[in-house]
Structures are given as structure tokens and as C-alpha cells.
Amino acid sequence: MAQQDLWLSVLKRIRPTIQKTHFLTWFQNTSLIENKDGVVKIGLPTTFAHDWVSKKYDVKIVQALKELDESVSEVKYEIRGNLSEKDNKDGVDVKSLLKVQSEKKVRKVRKVNQVKVKKGDNKGHVTSQMLNDRYTLNNFIISTENSLPHAACKAVANMPGGIYNPLYIYGNVGLGKTHLVQAVGNQILRNFPDMVVKYITAERFVNEVVDAIGRRHMKQFKAQYRNVDCFLIDDVQFFARKDSSQQEFFHTFNELYDNNKQIILTSDRPPSELDELDERLTSRFGMGMVIELLVPSFETRVAILNQKCQEYQVIIDPEVLHFVATNVDSSVRELEGVLKQLVADYQLENKVPSIRSAAEKIKKLNKAKDIIGYDIEKRGVEQAVRTSNDVMKIVAEYFDLTVGDLVGKDRHKEIMIPRQICMYLIKNELNHSYEKIGTEFGGRNHTTVMHACNKTSKQLQKDLKLVKDINAIRREMGF
């Protein structure tokens, strides 16, 4: 690499890590004077720039230089006053660099976010597909079953276009394929902010081809893949029997592959089983690394549920989570779906998730499913508690108190908390009004009851023991 090109490449690399104004101030009219025997000499136009750059940016410069030229071992800085002279052309004009950068950025954003269809086109044509930053490698729970796919994705994110190219991930629906590929895309953008990452589902790709053919925009269509550094294509099984799209994809694939660009594909089956795809394609899919995403074990499913609870900021009785993990065993998406519904009931209607409510959600998802650990039909006919007095009896017994204690005036914690829990349960399970409950509790004011219910709801958000107590009592109540 010519000296000045090398310096330009260094500056391009470090530019995103330095504030624009600082970059303009300190690197204007700088130059790479010499690159000999592993020693690089950088010329700086002023003493000030010399002191500042050598102190503040030395590490970045050395690192970038080493990445670009392995032989570099040392960097020296020298003051060269002539670099700032008007007619001197040796120094770099960093403003031009910024311009290139910002143009590139615009291009990148457009590529990543994809061109939106022109205004007025409301036929539901191809629009954008973006990476969702919810998907990261960190929030993908690694289990023994899926440590390999995760490790491969991590390796690709650290070195796109390296040995795992193409990376082909397959597995049943809802096991995390989309999560993983998008996570790689997000991580690559984090590691290499200048790279252009494109994510698209095969279905969307087919629609785009159809659209481009219809509008005779094939050239533009092809062009959009030219600058891509990392191409993520989801659910390639969708290409089955779509011959023109396959052909188009074949060209795109080859061009990117030949230029050492990273390609990641996902599918619901291994390449060898993609019967309805052109063999030229499927054989290429298998050229790099092919890995299967497996169904997570029970322990992993519980770990996933725990993590999602943290994300939603709710505490759910571990027994309920175990119950869900036992009964939803083939798809992480379904696992998450059941949890989301439970959380929604909880947050919107104050219904504490229980085994019963979880069983109902699971049954709704799959009517034919046998539910382990809970008999919905039997429970359904069983008489659930109907009166306040029944609830009081159960709560009193649970806490080793008497109904008299609950409705009485004693304000000790040991009695007051069960009293508040009891009011909460009557309100939420029997739907009695605050006034009615007040009367039932020895003629208390409705605001007292309201306060008790609110306090209990709030406490449920942070107190696991309370969550468990309430669930145990509700089970006694037949709910």
C-alpha cells in the first residue's frame, strides 16, 4: 500500500471513534512520512498537534496500522512545519475524508434500512426490512444444545467473511434462527461500523424479484447487493419452486461469495433436504459451516423464561414457570408467547399468573395437547371458592390465624399483611367492590381496602415470597 493510502486507511478506521471536531482539528494536514523496517513516521504540522496526537491517539493509530500492515511495530511522531504551508500537498485534507464518510454513511443507512418504496405506491410492495436491535448475541440463552451455533455466530461477527462462510443455520420454527442471524448482523455493525449489513427474508427477496421484473428494475435490484459486506437471508426453504428468484439469488450469492463477503442463511432443514431448490444452490449452501439449532432442554427453557421475566420486569412463581417449561417443549416462540400472555394479564388486569391460568393459555395454543401436571377438566367442575368468608377461612388457615384476626383491628405486621392479602384476593378473584369488602372486614372504609389492594399489587412486583404465598392460596381457592 502506498504510504499516503495507508495513512488514509488509518484515518478512515479511527474516524468513527473520534469526535468530528477533534478529528478535524488534530488530523488536518498530517502525513505518513516513512514506513521502513517496521517503523512508521507520522508528520504533524504543529507542536500542538504533535503533543496531542502522540498522547491521545497513539494507541488507536498503532492498532489501526498493525491491522492494515502486519509488519508495523512502532510509530513515531515528528513535527513538520511545512505540512501546514499553503501550497503543500503532502498533508491529508481530512475534510474530504469526512465527506466521503458521510456519503458512505447515507448509502449505508439506505442499504441497511432498504429503500422505501416511492410515495403513492400503496400496493403493499416491497419495503424495508431492518435489523431489530432486540436480538443480540448476549440475550440469546446458550445451552449445551445450542452452544455451537452461538459460538459460530460469535466467530462470524468477529471475522465476517472468514472461515465460516457461508454459515448455514437450520432448525424447526421458533427455535431462534432469526434471533441468531439478526444478532450477528447487529454485532457486525457494532464491531465494524462501516460495514453494510443486509437482512432479508427469502420471501421478501422473492417479492422484490417479482417487483423488479414487473417494473423492469432488474438493474437497480442487482445494484443494491453490490456494496453489501454481510448478507443475511432468512428461511431459504421459501425459494422452493421459485425459479427466477433462485437464479437471481444464485448470482447474488456467487458475487458476494467470490468477494469474500459474509453470507448467513437460515432454513427449516439441512441443505441436502431442500429438494425443490436448484442443486447448484444447495451445494453452495453447504460449502462453509452447516449447523443445526436444537430444541432446548427443560433447564434451558426455564432459563429462557427467567430471562424474559427479567426483561418484562415481573416476578412469576417458579412453579408456574416450571409448569410452562414442562408443557411447552418444542418452540421457544410458543414458550415466549405463553409467558407474554401471562404477563399481559398480570400487568393489565392484575391477575397473578398461576398454574391454572398458564394451563388455559397453553390449551388455547394447542387444544389437542395433554397438559402435564394439571387437569383442566377436573379443575373446571371442581367448586371454586365463591364467598368472601371462604376466602377468609383459607387465608386464615394458610397463615395460622383466625378469621376473627383478619377482620379485627390488630395492626401487627403478622396480621395486617395477611389481612391485606385477603382483601386483594377477594377483590381480584371474586370481583367484590371496595365498599363491600370494607363492610365484610368489620366496617372498614373503602379507601382502606383500596390501599391494601394497591399495596399488595406493588409488593408482588418485588417480593417472590409473596408471589408464592398468593399462588398457593389461590390454588387452595380452586383458581
Residues interacting with ligand ADP, by CB under 6 A? Answer: 140-141, 171, 173-179, 304, 332-333, 336
Range in contact with Mg ion (rule: CB under 5 A) among 96-104, 170-178, 250-258, 370-378: 170-178
In the block, which residue shows the cell 474516524? 15
Range in contact with Mg ion (rule: CB under 5 A) among 31-39, 177-185, 205-213, 459-467: 177-185
The alpha carbon of residue 298 and the mean position of all alpha carbons in its chain are separated, in whole angstroms, by 22
44 binds, options Mg ion, ligand ADP, none, Cβ within 5 to 8 A by partner type: none
E strand or H helix that includes residue 447: helix 446-460
Number of residues forming the site for Mg ion (CB under 5 A): 2
C-alpha cell of 68? 492494515
- 319 burial class (0-12, 13-18, 19+ CB within 10 angstroms)? middle
140 binds, options Mg ion, ligand ADP, none, Cβ within 5 to 8 A by partner type: ligand ADP
Which is closer to ligand ADP, CB of 178 or CB of 354?
A: 178
Which is closer to ligand ADP, CB of 336 or CB of 463?
A: 336
Which is closer to ligand ADP, CB of 328 or CB of 425?
A: 328
Give the CB-nearest residue to ligand ADP. Answer: 176
357 binds Mg ion (CB under 5 A): no
267 binds Mg ion (CB under 5 A): no
3-state secondary structure of 274: coil
Residue 200 Cβ vs Mg ion, minimum distance, rounded to whole Å: 12
Range in contact with Mg ion (rule: CB under 5 A) among 174-182, 243-251, 357-365, 373-381: 174-182
Q: How far apart are CA 18 and CA 222, in angstroms?
A: 35
173 binds, options ligand ADP, Mg ion, none, Cβ within 5 to 8 A by partner type: ligand ADP
Give the CA angle between residues 181, 131, 347 to the nearest 5°. 100
Q: How far apart are CA 83 and CA 68, in angstroms?
A: 24
Which is closer to ligand ADP, CB of 333 or CB of 351?
A: 333
185 binds, options ligand ADP, Mg ion, none, Cβ within 5 to 8 A by partner type: none
Q: Which of 178, 186, 252, 282 binds Mg ion (CB under 5 A)?
A: 178
8 binds, options ligand ADP, Mg ion, none, Cβ within 5 to 8 A by partner type: none
The alpha carbon of residue 254 and the mean position of all alpha carbons in its chain are separated, in whole angstroms, by 29
Which is closer to ligand ADP, CB of 263 or CB of 437?
A: 263
Residue 349 Cβ vs ligand ADP, minimum distance, rounded to whole Å: 24
HSE of 89, CA atoms in CB hemisphere, 13 A: 0
Q: How far apart are CA 136 and CA 187, in angstroms?
A: 7
Q: Are 286 and 277 in contact (CB under 8 A)?
A: no
Which is closer to ligand ADP, CB of 235 or CB of 248?
A: 235
Residue 304 Cβ vs ligand ADP, minimum distance, rounded to whole Å: 5
Q: How far apart are CA 337 and CA 139, in angstroms?
A: 17
Which is closer to ligand ADP, CB of 143 or CB of 247?
A: 143
304 binds, options ligand ADP, Mg ion, none, Cβ within 5 to 8 A by partner type: ligand ADP
342 binds, options ligand ADP, Mg ion, none, Cβ within 5 to 8 A by partner type: none
Q: What is the DSSP letter of 75?
A: E
Which is closer to Mg ion, CB of 232 or CB of 315?
A: 232
Q: How far apart are CA 291 and CA 154, in angstroms?
A: 14
In the block, which residue shows the cell 365498599? 435
Which is closer to ligand ADP, CB of 3 or CB of 132?
A: 132
261 binds, options Mg ion, ligand ADP, none, Cβ within 5 to 8 A by partner type: none
3-state secondary structure of 78: strand
- 231 burial class (0-12, 13-18, 19+ CB within 10 angstroms)? buried
C-alpha cell of 357? 391460568
Residue 151 CB partners (closer than 8 Å, separation 6+): none
Give the CB-nearest residue to Mg ion. Answer: 178
Which is closer to Mg ion, CB of 31 or CB of 178?
A: 178
Residue 181 Cβ vs Mg ion, minimum distance, rounded to whole Å: 8
- 352 burial class (0-12, 13-18, 19+ CB within 10 angstroms)? buried
Q: Are 185 and 199 in contact (CB under 8 A)?
A: yes
Tell me which residues touch Mg ion (CB under 5 A): 177-178
